[in-house]
Amino acid sequence: MNDSAADLSQRLLQLRTAQRSSPMPDWATRAHRLRRLEKMLLEQREAFAAAINADFGCRPREETDLLEIYPSLSAIRHTLSKGRRWMKPRRRLADLLFLPARTEMRPQPRGVVGIIVPWNYPLYLAIGPLVDALGAGNRAMLKMSEFTPRFSALFAEQVARYFKPDEVTVVTGDAEVAQAFSALPFDHLLFTGSTAVGHHVMRAAAANLTPVTLELGGKSPAIVGPGARFDHAVERIVFGKMVNAGQTCIAPDYVLLPRARVAEFIDTATRTVAKMYPQLAQGGQYSSIVSDRQYQRLVGLRDGAVAAGASVHPLSASSEDAARRLLPPQLLGNVTDAMAVMREEIFGPLLPLLPYDTLDEAIAYVTTHPHPLALYLFEQNAGRIEQVLSQTHAGGVSVNDTIYHVAQHNLPFGGVGSSGTGGYHGEAGFRTFSHIKPVFRQARVNGAGMLNPPYGSRFRRMLELMLKRG
């Protein structure tokens, strides 16, 4: 059942009232909440996977385990092992002229965190930020996607079993509910989704001066360098593009590769797909597109590109099946920036190939387009790797692989520019959902009074000393 927009404010009030009664929960309380989250995942693993599969039409259980269950559990366990240390104040000496005073940075929960969850990884992109929010001592309110209704309803039901409504609460509903949710005066709001919707979320949050973390998307390039291990590069690009049928915000969106190797890329990718998915249409290991709307959008991107002069290179002998929303992977050649497929994030199993003559040309292409959420570089030469890393902007980078930089607890995950703002995961997530409160502790014996008026010769001597020492 969908939640009404009118119900949201009351839920937020319940969470805020509870947070104010216990604004700084100790580590035992935080750890208990995280262990309940872990317990829910372990006990409901089968049911969650089945609900996601039903929403997609076909979502391989193996992919749900690998890309949703595993990283969710891993994030919980990482925070359980490190969180007590993260929440301790970090003490520092005061600046030289203010000694013997002391300073410290004291993490405090922001309060109540709002989390807007997308449809493509509805479990992990709910649990991941929730882990960081709970580890930082917050309470949380989640808005689930209406495009995965079975999972959203089940997740809301199970969260209500494992958590009190003044700890974590889950909201379901359509775009109207999402709009009302974005306008609530949270202490922090995290949104994962498209850049277009991100604009609306940021505007709504601005009315309350709510700080936001936006995890958006964009067109993430894969650069095959002149010195790449070519077969390895093709394999990893195919893997990154085909898990969840390309419905991944950090999936490779297009490939920049040496002009002389385009035909070789097509041949190698075809063999790789046959090896990874020997029964693509029947094996149950290749995901369906989540909805008819998304399926038709992808077909429209491809057909529009073909009408404008692009070529299509199927990577599988399996046929498209609109009734099952099965769209086999396809490479696109002869693409131009005038085509919608090169202007919009694809979010599906279409992969344009852009040949280049020099690596400088490839870098220039990336830098003259909006900053992507991810960048993938395949190269063995250290100098070329450094050239790409130093001359491009991206939310995150994997060198000689795809996707897996997002699974590193010690690396923040986030975008830059149009691909997002802010980041989370691990300690970075703890700090995103904390206010790092600075504290200055003055010593009993100190020289602060020497700066008091009236401003005589002693004051001027002190000021000159301060100006010299900076």
What does the pLDDT look like over 310-368, one tens digit per residue? 999 999 999 999 999 999 999 999 999 999 999 999 999 999 999 999 999 999 999 99
pLDDT tens, position by position, 82-115: 999 999 999 988 888 888 989 999 999 999 999 9
N-term to C-term CA, the chain: 62
Annotated active-site residue 249? The verdict is yes
pLDDT of 382: 98
pLDDT tens, position by position, 341-352: 999 999 999 999
Closest CA to 53 of 158, 148, 171: 148
pLDDT of 5: 67
Contacts of residue 279, defined as CB under 8 A and 6 or more positions apart, other chains included, come to 285
Question: What average pLDDT does this structure show over 441-467?
Answer: 87
Closest CA to 378 of 232, 219, 220: 232
**What's at 403, amino acid-wise?**
I
Polymer length in residues for the chain: 470
Q: Is the confidence at residue 1, as pLDDT, over 60?
A: no
- Lookup result for tokens 């290991």: 285
Catalytic residue among 38, 63, 68, 215: 215
| d(C-alpha 126, C-alpha 113), whole Å | 12
pLDDT tens, position by position, 224-255: 999 999 999 999 999 999 999 999 999 999 99
Quote the pTM value. 0.94
pLDDT of 369: 97
Annotated active-site residue 146? The verdict is no
Q: Is the confidence at residue 2, as pLDDT, over 80?
A: no
pLDDT of 3: 67
Closest CA to 36 of 132, 156, 164, 137: 164
DSSP one-letter code for 95:
P
Question: What average pLDDT does this structure show over 56-72?
Answer: 96
- The whole-angstrom distance between residue 417's C-alpha and the CA centroid of its chain comes to 14
- Structure confidence at residue 285 as a pLDDT band (50, 70, 90): very high
Tell me the domains of the chain and their CATH numbers. Answer: 5-216+420-435 (3.40.605.10), 221-408 (3.40.309.10)
- Structure confidence at residue 409 as a pLDDT band (50, 70, 90): very high
Output the DSSP codes for 347-384: -SSEEEEEEESSHHHHHHHHHTSPPPSEEEEE---HHH
Catalytic residue among 167, 235, 249, 345: 249
